[in-house]
Amino acid sequence: MAHSPRIKFILGGVLILAAVIYLIVSSTQASAQYFLTIEELNAKGESIIGKNVRVSGAVLGDTIQYDPQSLTLQFSVAHVTADNREIEAQGGLAEVLYQATIDPNRPRLQVIYHGPKPDLLRNEAQAIMTGKMGADGIFYADELLLKCPTRYEEAVPVQAEG
Amino acid sequence: MLADFGFGILLIAFLTALYSIGAALYGHFSRRQKWVESARLAMLLTFPLLTLASLTLIYLLVIGDFNIRFVYEVTSRDMPTYLKITALWGGQSGSLLFWSWLMSLFATAVTLRKWERDREFLPWVILVSSITIAFFLSLNIFFENPFQRFWQTFQGVEPATFRPANAIPFTAEEGRGLNPLLRHPGMVIHPPMLYLGFVAYVIPYAFAIAALITGRADDRWIRLTRRWSLTAWLFLSLGLVLGGRWAYDVLGWGGYWAWDPVEIAAFMPWLTGTAFLHSVMIQEKRGMLKRWNMILIILTYSLVVFGTFLTRSGVLSSVHAFAQSEIGPAFFIFIGITLVTSVALLIYRWDSLQAEGQMHSMFSREALFLLNNLLFMGILVICFWGVISPLISELITGQKVTVGPPYYERAAGPLFALLVLLMGIAPLSAWGHITLKNLAAQNSLELEKRYALAIARLLWKPAIPALLVLIGLLIAGITNIYALIGLTFAALTASITIYEFWRAARARERAQGENLLTALWRLAGRNRRRYGGYTIHLGVILMAIGIIGIEMFQSETQKSLAVGENIQLAGYTVRYDSLAQFPTNDGRWVTRAVVSVFDKNGQFLTELYPRYDVYADGQPMTIPGVRSTLADDLYVLLINWEGVTAQVAPFKVYHNPLVNWLWLGAFVFIFGTLIAAWPEEEREPLPTQARKTKAIYQPGD
């Protein structure tokens, strides 16, 4: 009997550990979201339809349509790279977003979102969307976050430029 | 020039901290007390120095010297003075300075205590504190100088600490101003609370390291820092709750906690800190879990630095993160070095930290405390995995995969529920050694039965109200199984805790002839730690009720309303009455709706004023109109006025049941922590009378 206390505590510990690991693995699988760029999303084709995806792109101001009655928002976004170093190399996020909106050859993605039109949705904003790709090639966003980098990243006063 | 002065002071403070490290080491190894004393005084000096540096920066913020980059970034002329002062922690470099300042305050407070009996700890406490201060100051000096100025060169304007060749100072006309979302009283105190919690944990860690280095294996370091741990824990808890309240009031998404990586970053040291608070009691009472306590405090320290790193480095995108910065690698190196050194020390002392007792039963109090610790660690692992999984998956598969709030709720939810249950059961259990003598000959199964029965005997009475609550919930038609489990556990634990108060007060009433209230008061006064702890538990239960309410029963709806139209939710009717738009004198453009709220009988309840403010720089802010009762909150948002005709406005309405119990619980929680931390008359046993360990030490050695 001398060893039995030890064994039961080890068993208990292993059980708890197994439970935690199970919770982590199953919850990760159930709620995993893929971070994709628009290029990657298009390349995946049909295999990505119905999966949780998080995608970001530059908002094209002309494409924004909003119906306040049904709270339906439609717009298109243009591909931007997700690589921070590349963004820095190209002159910062604001510049990258601007380039994306004026380049007609960039891959684009049409988005539909139900809900109020966010305050920051405007041309050259970075939209970070969570949702699923529909079979019709339209991205149905459940969640929409927007970043307008210009305001926060200008390290140098604007007056200086003039 | 004030900026140069400020930077100079920072540099001197940095050198002072370095000197303090060197002097402490030299003093110890050369056995010259004078040098240790000199190190102590040097550490004391960092506080006035950093006070001076911080005041210099605050002065620059208040006068609005836009030649200073930091002042330009976080203030503007239209901001009220108090916000200009608190803008100190509204940006990257200033908040790092603020961190160091608080750290030096605590380091000073700890060096001012009487050290007679613990002089051997002194050089090492100084060492750890000074290294921490020096590290944070080095970030300010080498990467993020808050006193950096703007210079006009031929290429344009650039920020630099020292004057570039052929440059003249450049002063901007107007600052960019603090992010309007941060211009809120909650935001004014939320960061300092978190920082206070963060830095206060450095002190118990410093003592733990001192204990490891000196090889003192007793629980002296724990006793010395008990109040520090509680203080740190209180501030950290306050910081978390205030952050939640701010989000609820200002961010306008109907919630208080989003499992944002930065929230988790502050939550992780809280988890290890809470586990630590519990497990040190086992070491004090039974001389067990010594290694575990070391692991916990080392982890807490690393997580504190990691938390600061996550919040301040911009490595993760989040509402909290400031711009990208170069301090990331420095943080990683620092965390790596301190963690490896601490763990190496722990391994070196591993054998001397042997437990003095053994756990016998799974239902003994020490085993249940250990279980509590394991659950906290489980939640920690879940959180940690959630934060780093995007980085890991990107490293392995090149594919960034992230997990959202559902992951945390699913994985951590069951563990939280178990914790609530354990919170009720553990206080009923007996310490393992009390009954051990009688049971020495029994076999293991028999032993477990005895312990379990002892708990069950105390459990059945308080279990009755919990059962009634469950029946009541079922009658009320609640079918959500998780809510039923959660609320029943909460009811059981609340009932046990109140019963424990009542039982003890009743015994005192009989024995001392006091009336029940006096007995309760004296009881809490005599054993502040236990009854403070129970009060905290009651607070946690109230918070749990609030969390279950809003997480499981929240409902929402949204609709565009013409004036006079209604929107219905959870038995309430919200009618859109009118709208006004007006400017304020701090440059905001306010759009304010008036809505009437009616209950299900059509009875008028109140008017609410959901608002939509746009700041001069275009940053909008959505402020809800909230009708708050103990039963529920009706949370009405006016959303995005832009592009909608004057007669029609879109509204979003949330129904948040029970959410006020969360805030109410927070008050009880704070009250309980104050009871537990309130200084008692010095009753600490002399070293000879204390529960002695085999370790031999000479006080004053």
B600-634 pLDDT, tens digit per residue, is 999 999 999 998 888 776 777 888 999 999 999 99
Q: Exposure of B596 by Cβ count < 10 A (0-12 exposed, 13-18 middle, 19+ buried)?
A: middle
pLDDT of residue A141: 92
Task: List the structure tokens of A110.
Answer: 């049409």
Contact B503, B547 (CB under 8 A): no
From the list A1, A153, A157, which residue is nearest B323 (CB)? A153
Distance from CA of B515 to the nearest CA of A (A): 45
Contact A122, A149 (CB under 8 A): no
CB contact under 8 A, A157 and B617: no
From the list B411, B619, B652, which residue is nearest A116 (CB)? B652
Distance from CA of B364 to the nearest CA of A (A): 12
pLDDT at B499 over 80: yes
Task: List the structure tokens of B680.
Answer: 């008692």
Q: Nearest-5° angle of CA B637, CA B240, CA B614?
A: 30
CA dihedral B163, B167, B173, B174 (to 10 degrees): -40
From the list B159, B360, B640, which residue is nearest A116 (CB)? B640
CATH, range A33-154: 2.40.50.140
pLDDT of residue B188: 82
- Substitution target in B374, B556, B621 with the highest count of A β-carbons within 10 Å is B374
Greatest alpha-carbon pair distance for chain A in Å reads 86
pLDDT of residue B252: 75
pLDDT of residue B312: 65
Average pLDDT over residues B311-339: 68
Can you tell me the distance from the alpha carbon of B471 to that of B454, in angstroms, rounded to the nearest whole number?
26
Task: List the structure tokens of A51.
Answer: 């999966």
CB contact under 8 A, A13 and B400: no
Distances from the Cα of B180 to the Cα of A102, B511, B551, B619, B655, angstroms: 31, 60, 28, 7, 27
Task: List the structure tokens of B96.
Answer: 């790092």
Tokens 């140069």, residue located: B4
Count the neighbouring beta carbons within 10 Å of the beta carbon of residue B474: 11
pLDDT band at B26 (very low <50, low <70, confident <90, very high): very high
| DSSP H or E segment with residue B23 | helix B2-29
CB contact under 8 A, A116 and B650: yes
Chain B residues close to A118, C-beta within 8 Å: 640
Which residue of chain B is at minimal alpha-carbon distance from A20?
B378
Kindly tell me the sign of the dihedral angle through the C-alpha atoms of B288, B290, B291, B297.
Answer: positive
pLDDT band at B442 (very low <50, low <70, confident <90, very high): low
Percent of chain A with pLDDT over 90: 20
Q: ipTM greater than 0.85, yes or no?
A: no
From the list B157, B378, B389, which residue is nearest A28 (CB)? B389
pLDDT at B314 over 70: no
Average pLDDT over residues B369-373: 93
Count the neighbouring beta carbons within 10 Å of the beta carbon of residue B112: 10
DSSP B433-494: TTTHHHHTTS-HHHHHHHHHHHHHHHHHHHHHHHHHHHHHHHHTT---HHHHHHHHHHHHHH
Distance from CA of B119 to the nearest CA of A (A): 39
pLDDT band at B598 (very low <50, low <70, confident <90, very high): very high
Can you tell me the distance from the alpha carbon of A71 to that of B266, in angstroms, rounded to the nearest whole number?
36
pLDDT of residue B434: 56
CB contact under 8 A, A130 and B404: yes
pLDDT of residue B467: 93
Distance from CA of A60 to the nearest CA of B (A): 17
Chain B residues close to A159, C-beta within 8 Å: 172-173
CB contact under 8 A, B362 and A4: no
Which residues does B307 contact at the CB level (< 8 Å), separation at least 6?
Answer: B198, B265, B266, B268, B269
Contact A20, B378 (CB under 8 A): yes
pLDDT in tens, A75-101: 999 998 877 777 777 877 788 888 888
Which residues does B5 contact at the CB level (< 8 Å), separation at least 6?
Answer: B56
Q: Exposure of B272 by Cβ count < 10 A (0-12 exposed, 13-18 middle, 19+ buried)?
A: buried
Which residues does A2 contact at the CB level (< 8 Å), separation at least 6?
Answer: none
pLDDT band at A162 (very low <50, low <70, confident <90, very high): very low
User: Which residues in B484-502 are b (16+ Cβ under 10 Å) and which e?
Assistant: bbbbbbbbbbbbbbebbbe
Distance from CA of B450 to the nearest CA of A (A): 15
